[in-house]
Structure 1
């Protein structure tokens, strides 16, 4: 009986075919996640008091902790679980302003958020408490926080039109033909415009500034920073990243290792906070790149996509200082403009989710307006007061048992 022929591959007969799609999907996941939102991270860290060296350290810290966390979780669980830094959390920081106590107080707030994330994995009751916050209010708070940052590209058209107009045009065209790459392409155009500007002006870039380095900050702790940074950062990260991240994986037939994920992201946030890292979490939108069909037909091997994305993040960390050095020399408003374009989709989704229920729009509307107002009271920013105001309004307007609504239904 003749032998069956060996499986043929592009490498030649007799070699076993290896599907490279999971590895390629992992690299794409990291590239999209990094380039789509690193400008938001820098804008957020700068807004709460970080200087360029501290902002570069913060970007490096979250990139490293994301990479290491993904490597551990995907290898341990054999699930294509991916992590990311908290982009909504960075947008929250961009709208918060410098807290009382400056950058060290902000770092203390990051530590507080990391502790809450870790406790979510250790104490199930905390997760259940989070689940009791109406999603519409959490999304309304996020939409209000994002509003000012998403206005930045259009405000910048009035101040630096020659710099911003090509970026917006590139983003719009890519949204038409390749939406996934719209923000990375706009970022490349922005970096090109900045590079040309610096070259024409003869502005030098010190070689030492291109080398990534972690800068330690001794944190300080205050009630204002915990209420104004730690709690809103935790709520936004849970509602806009961790919970949707679980849903994305479940839609592809995978169960998220919830407790290990919360412990790893909490520990990663705690480890990165003294170096300026604000928060890391489960990936949401980019998670689909590693868990879907693009990562190969064999579902049992898609965890390799997650693992590869972790390795790719560690490689991208080497470029963090160079990116900060270039962006820090950009015209005023340029960084915020790129960050605003990156967050337009998030703003639209958050606003839609907040106002989806026609019978429960007043409380989310109040939450949105309070968050967008930029109110600072008692040293605590608008995000905290927005969530509190929304809960109060919702409680007051909620129909009473046996009240008009109850009698009407009876």
Structure 2
């Protein structure tokens, strides 16, 4: 039986939703940092499994996207390995540090939309030019966080509108369950059945968390299918390398602002909204500054910008007691550091699994978060603005090389201010 400590029983005093001048630049945790004893007392099977699944998610689909973009952009194997090392190192270090200090599951990763927008850029820009843009974007993200402008901007946008953007981004994970089950029933169907049984029978789910059971059944299905084939050879441990940046106007104008907006609004916005929906008080300004610092670390090793992500934090808060969620973040952070060290081996291992396994696991793990996003977006006020946000984000609108999720929030908020004045007046 878990007995909350005095520090846990206090109300999280990170403060109310921020107003200009109402809070210090660095949001205070409100509780004392967690120590090793706290972690060992609070950790449990549910939280460990959430951390493992969060890592499995990050190490599969997002890594595949990173490798695809890098390979098509002409990066060498050494450059790709360094990129993977950097993003896991920053994700692990930032998550471990922040989760222990704030006693919240503050999961960091790297910008997948930012990675995707690099695809066309790498066709006509050299990699040193792109790395130069990584450095500039990191400085801009850090500067905007240090000025304190991020928190009041994010506080101005109603939560239903932000969660509608989250719902649109997360929707693909739900449809992936259907498509993977249809395309590869031998792997995906047993995973779906395992999740339904463990969720429907609480006595079983108490001893084997549904998502962890889904992962175990999926591994067995993959092995029995005989399709788990790992390429032999190649390095085992990571060998990070420094790429000297080149600062050119072409790369700076094309990439810096889209990368910064993707991190601060799309990625960090999703992460903060998911954490709020789970009952936490995420430190938005510290998020921004931490993203900037670790983006600079990533840039030094040829990696894309660091950020807080919605999917990762949704997985870390998928089950259990709120005051113990931070332990899932710690598990995820520690495993990320291990993955950084073993980046080449991990990459070969994850890419050896069938695509259906990755899609089904990610989709099933995200179902509760997707449900919560829809409920928050459309249950009360600002429903028209939320609907417009959802539709624009789903449409894939891409202006000025900036992700559709950003335009969804901007256009949805503008429509809401124009047509839902009563909701804003009573908010």
Aligned-partner Cα distance in 2 for 1:139–1:106: 32
2:166–2:373 CA contact under 8 A, matched in 1: yes
Aligned-partner Cα distance in 1 for 2:290–2:64: 26
Q: Please tell me whether residue 154 in structure 1 is matched to residue 178 in structure 2.
A: yes
Relative to 1, partners in 2 of residues 1:151 and 1:26: Cα closer, same or farther, differing over 3 Å? same
Give the corresponding residue for 1:363: 385
Give the corresponding residue for 1:391: 413
1:38 to 56, 63, 68: 56
Give the corresponding residue for 2:150: 126
Flag structure 1 segments of 5+ consecutive residues without an equivalent.
1-18, 296-302
Deviation readout 1:107-137 (Å, 9 max, x if unpaired): 7887676445533541113322222223222
2:396–2:404 CA contact under 8 A, matched in 1: yes
212-221 vs 162-171, greater mean Cα deviation = 212-221
Flag structure 2 segments of 5+ consecutive residues without an equivalent.
1-35
Aligned-partner Cα distance in 1 for 2:266–2:293: 18
Q: Please tell me whether residue 167 in structure 1 is matched to residue 185 in structure 2.
A: no
Give the superposed CA RMSD.
4.6
**What TM-score comes out, normalization by structure 2 length?**
0.66
Deviation at 1:154, TM superposition (A): 0.6
**What TM-score comes out, normalization by structure 1 length?**
0.69
Aligned-partner Cα distance in 1 for 2:366–2:134: 21
Aligned-partner Cα distance in 2 for 1:260–1:353: 25
Is the partner of 2:120 in helix, strand or coil?
A: coil
2:92–2:334 CA contact under 8 A, matched in 1: yes
Larger radius of gyration: 1
Give the corresponding residue for 1:100: 120
Aligned-partner Cα distance in 1 for 2:57–2:221: 15
Alignment of 1:2-401 (within 5 A): 22-23=39-40, 25=42, 29=47, 32-40=50-58, 42-47=60-65, 49-51=69-71, 60-69=85-94, 72=97, 80=103, 82-86=105-109, 90=112, 99-102=119-122, 114-115=138-139, 117-176=141-200, 177=202, 178=205, 181-197=209-225, 200=226, 203-208=229-234, 210-214=236-240, 221=251, 223=253, 225-226=255-256, 229-242=259-272, 245=275, 262-273=288-299, 274-276=301-303, 278-281=305-308, 286=316, 311=334, 313-315=336-338, 317-318=340-341, 320-358=343-381, 360-377=382-399, 379-399=401-421
Relative to 1, partners in 2 of residues 1:81 and 1:363: Cα closer, same or farther, differing over 3 Å? closer
Deviation at 1:33, TM superposition (A): 2.4
Deviation at 1:148, TM superposition (A): 2.2
Give the corresponding residue for 1:16: none
Aligned-partner Cα distance in 2 for 1:214–1:313: 16
1:108–1:225 CA contact under 8 A, matched in 2: no
1:85–1:281 CA contact under 8 A, matched in 2: yes
Deviation at 1:206, TM superposition (A): 1.6
